[in-house]
Amino acid sequence: MNNYFGTDGIRGRVGEKPITADFFLKLGWAVGSVLAQKTPHASVIIGKDTRISGYMFESALEAGFLSAGVDVGLLGPMPTPAIAYLTQTYNATAGVVISASHNHFQDNGVKFFSAKGFKFSNEDQKKIEQKLSQPMLSVSSENIGKAIRHQQSLDKYVDFCKSSFESSLNLSTLSIVIDCANGASYHIAERVFLELGAKVVAINNTPDGFNINKNCGATHTQHLRQTVLENKFDLGIAFDGDGDRLMMIDSKGELVDGDELVFIIAKFWQTHDRLTNNKVVGTQMTNLGMRHGYRNLGIDFIEAGVGDRFVLEKMQAFGAVLGGESSGHIICLNKTTSGDGIIAALQVLEVLVKCNKTLVELKSRVEKYPQVLINVKTTDKINLKKNKALQQAQFEVEETLGEGRVLIRPSGTEPLIRIMVEGRDLTIIQKSAQKLADIVKNN
């Protein structure tokens, strides 16, 4: 069992263990030591999102890696998926992202990518944890690593994103609002869509270190919706703070979530013989309506645990090229190695342009069941399997729903219990979800 690594790297409140400068110093050393044991002349690249604490943790990690004899390339603010790509481009042994994704600026964390652009395996994480339990010892002076700042990273990633869009097409028929969440996509996303010909308005693209994800981005789409409607644009695109999530708003102001976007891409790819093995990977949270939709199209739906890392593992195991989550992590494995908001958005826009359809039209062809999500904050770990009152209530709810689902699970990134109830009757599922939430709160 890992002491530090969660479902998406290491994350927490800045200043509270383990999200402290001294820990990140030792973490850099521990990761660097593990890499150096496997690879002579190991090197890493480090990127970060726009939160104020990124400067501190960047310096700490850099010093840790250098003390382990590992060379460091600094990229500055860069989306998480850009690190996955650039790790391969720069032939680095590993890539590092300093980010807490969709969380507010008070939190931060770190994610790691292998030389092939995939997140570290459980085996790698265990080796790092073992190293962290040992005293930190620097290499000799002549073996200390060197640090450089890569200047062309932004251009390389912009070109890579554009290359994922069919070269014979352009976006000149579309007007788009882009919400950058005051995060790592602030200096990249607008440029990509402009250079492909779209009319673009960018919002929440002036990060100050504190406003990342604040009432904006993929987790708060009200501002984007308002801007799309006021300007009568075709659609809106929202990223989260580190650029690996995608949500869209259609011209009517309706949200188009990750489930729907994956379905839209899957249907198009199936028609054009791009959906390798005719499989799509989702999660426990994937809407029941989507599952029925895939069944009707003859597409095999494969369920993974919640978290893009688990989605990717299932994709690799079953040979799927498309997978994602309702939260907006969408992985196009025939384009890149990780969830990438910009690249996923381009795949949806390619469907619009090639089929001459609006996002409203494409969304209308996706039937979703009503779904209610409630997050209950917790201070202590709750053993869900031993909570008999909760189990009984869940059984009663499932009996009432008939055709529907209940999912209760702890968050992998925050101190929350997540409750999801899904069914055909919105009133019933709202009451059912609240009933379950009340039981969790009182335990």
Cα separation, 218 vs 385, whole angstroms = 32
The number of helix segments (H) and strand segments (E) in the chain equals 14, 18
| CB atoms near residue 21 (< 10 Å) | 15
Question: Do 197 and 172 meet the contact criterion of CB atoms below 8 Å apart?
Answer: yes
327 assigned to active site:
no
| CB atoms near residue 386 (< 10 Å) | 8
Specify the DSSP element, H or E, that contains 71.
Answer: strand 71-77
Q: 380 vs 16, 41, 408, CA distance in Å?
A: 17, 44, 16
Nearest CA to 355 out of 267, 242, 233, 231 is that of 267
Catalytic residue among 101, 164, 185, 327: 101
Question: Do 119 and 101 meet the contact criterion of CB atoms below 8 Å apart?
Answer: no
Cα separation, 184 vs 101, whole angstroms = 10
| CB atoms near residue 319 (< 10 Å) | 10
Nearest CA to 268 out of 344, 155, 382, 329 is that of 344
Cα separation, 30 vs 64, whole angstroms = 8
Q: Which residues are catalytic?
A: 101
